[in-house]
Amino acid sequence: MSMLPLLSIRNYRNLKCLEIDSLARVNLIAGKNNTGKTSLLEAVSLYASGGDLNTLLGIFRKRGELFGKKKEDNFESNLSLFSSLFYDRKSDISEQNCLIIGEKVDCIKERSDSMLSVRFIELKEEGKPSNVVYSIGLEVGFTYYTKTYQKSLSYEIVYPLEKDLESLFPYERYNKSLFKQNCQFIDTTSNSITDNSLLWDIIALTEKEAYVIDALKIIDEKVERIAFVNDELPQRRNAVVKLSNNSQPVPLKSMGDGMNRILTIILALVNAENGFLLIDEFENGLHYTVQEDLWKMIFKLAQSLNVQVFATTHSNDCIYAFERVMNDTVNDQQGKFIRLDRVNDVIKPVSFTASELDITTQQDIEIR
């Protein structure tokens, strides 16, 4: 599957029917609180994973929604948990209560050449009359139109909600791996020591090591090398760097939040080749003076590694830095700024071209 040229989301959390009719390689999303910025990133991650259960559970964990779940009450607990994915937390099994994410979803006909759908269904028990329902399941379906074969491929997964989440074995009707895409999601906290060390292991001794060093040099030009060493805690490794003016390795954590944030972003980017990079609140930990150089690197690597980037922000400094990089002649067709607005309790997107964003920032017009 290729880069998303556009995006439609129906019935996901607070996004009742969101349609963005044009996307770029690097997309910056702004908007007030509760306008669905994080929900948009989650929706893209679900689409990229093909509705994978681990991705769903990861979203629940980030939002703290697995807290207090009791194993002895699986059905009611799971129904409440999964219904949080749906607009207005609906848990009914009607055809209208369907969560859909796709390249282009008709919000009336609910159809797309490439889309993920999630809904509640009745589960029947074999050997019993067809009108006897013994449980409710979560059905995840994916349809993808492939130009190579000129046909649509599809699959369905059903998660029975009466089972414990840790032992949920879905009934799969197709090989889901055909639909799963590479996706790296950086949340607002970002600095995951374990994740960073694992991502480093994947690119170690490859040309991608140089990209990481170059990114860290945005803040400190003395950085020459990086490695991950064992911590006092088992199965945990910390990043250390070699500086040109110091014979001993220096813990990266001691060099400030900005260095650690850049390491997280670049490691995720170089590991998202031919897929998606999602960054929630891009500016976290980053001084405004380094953001333009970081955006330059992101635009360059996203192009060379075929990565589509979605980032959110609350910061004018982040928007100004993004605008300057987007208006570079090399990047004028590679970036897009999108603001999400709430209009009559419905989230609507407003997109800005490079020239339009240039005008708004020069005139200091509020667009966050």
What would the DSSP string read from start to end of 21-67? ----SEEEEEESTTSSHHHHHHHHHHHHHTS-HHHHHHHHHHTTTTT
Query: How far is residue 251's CA from residue 267's CA, in Å, rounded to a whole number?
Result: 17
- Looking at the domain assignment, is residue 36 inside a domain? no
Q: How many angstroms from the chain centroid is the CA of residue 44? A: 5
Number of structural domains found in the chain: 2
Do 173 and 286 fall within a single domain? no
pLDDT on residue 284 = 94
Query: How far is residue 54's CA from residue 211's CA, in Å, rounded to a whole number?
Result: 29
Do 110 and 218 fall within a single domain? no
Where does a domain end: 156, 180, 204? Answer: 180
- Check residue 2 and report its DSSP letter: -
Structure tokens at 249: 């390795």
Count Cβ atoms within 10 A of the Cβ of residue 221 and give its class: 0-12 exposed, 13-18 middle, 19 or more buried.
Answer: exposed
- Looking at the domain assignment, is residue 11 inside a domain? no
- Check residue 86 and report its DSSP letter: B
Tell me which H or E stretch contains 251: strand 250-251
Q: Which of 136-140, 171-175, 340-344, 355-359 has the lowest mean pLDDT?
A: 171-175
Q: Are 310 and 304 in contact (CB under 8 A)?
A: no
Do 135 and 188 fall within a single domain? no
3-state class of 108 per DSSP?
A: coil
Where does a domain end: 129, 152, 180? Answer: 180
C-alpha dist (Å) from residue 326 to 28, 295, 298 = 11, 9, 11
What would the DSSP string read from start to end of 147-208? TTTTEEEEEEEEEETTS-GGG---EE-S-GGGT---EEEE-SS---HHHHHHHHHHHTTSTH
Do 193 and 127 fall within a single domain? no
- Looking at the domain assignment, is residue 18 inside a domain? no
Closest to 263 (Cα-Cα) out of 232, 237, 231:
237
Averaged pLDDT, 268-285: 95
Do 228 and 291 fall within a single domain? yes
Query: Confidence class of residue 314 from pLDDT cuts 50, 70 and 90?
Result: very high
Reported as a single tens digit per residue, the pLDDT across 129-188 is 666 556 788 888 887 765 554 455 677 788 888 777 666 555 544 445 556 789 999 988
Query: How far is residue 144's CA from residue 220's CA, in Å, rounded to a whole number?
Result: 45
Reported as a single tens digit per residue, the pLDDT across 11-50 is 999 999 999 999 999 999 999 998 999 999 999 999 998 8
Do 310 and 274 fall within a single domain? yes
Query: How far is residue 118's CA from residue 139's CA, in Å, rounded to a whole number?
Result: 6
CATH number at residue 189: 3.40.50.300
Do 220 and 326 fall within a single domain? yes
Query: Confidence class of residue 309 from pLDDT cuts 50, 70 and 90?
Result: very high
Averaged pLDDT, 321-347: 89
- CA angle, 323 then 215 then 353, to 5°: 15
- CA angle, 303 then 308 then 312, to 5°: 120
Which residue range is the domain that position 302 belongs to? Answer: 184-362
Do 202 and 127 fall within a single domain? no
Helix then strand then coil, % of the chain, to nearest 5? 35, 30, 40
Do 170 and 319 fall within a single domain? no
Do 193 and 144 fall within a single domain? no
Where does a domain end: 147, 180, 213? Answer: 180
pLDDT: is 200 or 175 the higher one?
200
C-alpha count within 13 angstroms, C-beta hemisphere, residue 258: 15
Reported as a single tens digit per residue, the pLDDT across 57-105 is 889 988 888 766 555 567 888 888 999 999 999 888 888 899 999 886 5
